[in-house]
Amino acid sequence: ETGVTQSPTHLIKTRGQQVTLRCSSQSGHNTVSWYQQALGQGPQFIFQYYREEENGRGNFPPRFSGLQFPNYSSELNVNALELDDSALYLCASSLGGGVNYGYTFGSGTRLTVV
């Protein structure tokens, strides 16, 4: 059984560019959530997908968008990158809202915007 895999692990982009981050959920998991974690802070909820439908969204602007595919893998897209978007982006998956074992997190994508 594989865990949650995120790609790429590191990324450097220029302000104004667009970026796509990818997440492969743990086998059997149908829910995926994305988080932004700035250095020294707690993860901030971006949005959640359940069976390919958006199931909740945090306080992030529309330039943050996502997709979940039929195999439950997911993408996070960020348009018009800003310097403040520099952070660790974490993907977490679960089955049934993680009521038994919590969510399984990936190792994250470190995004630097210059």
Catalog residues that contact another protein under the rule CB under 8 A.
33, 35, 41-45, 48, 55-56, 58, 90, 92, 97-108
CB 34 within 8 A of CB 46: yes
Least distance (Å) between residue 83 CB and another protein: 22
Structure tokens at 101: 């074992």
Least distance (Å) between residue 16 CB and another protein: 29
Least distance (Å) between residue 14 CB and another protein: 25
Q: Is 87 helix (H, G, I), strand (E, B) or coil?
A: strand
CA 56 to chain centroid, in Å, comes to 13
- Residue closer to another protein, measured from CB, 20 or 58: 58
- Residue closer to another protein, measured from CB, 65 or 107: 107
Q: What are phi and psi of 84, to 5 degrees?
A: -70, -10
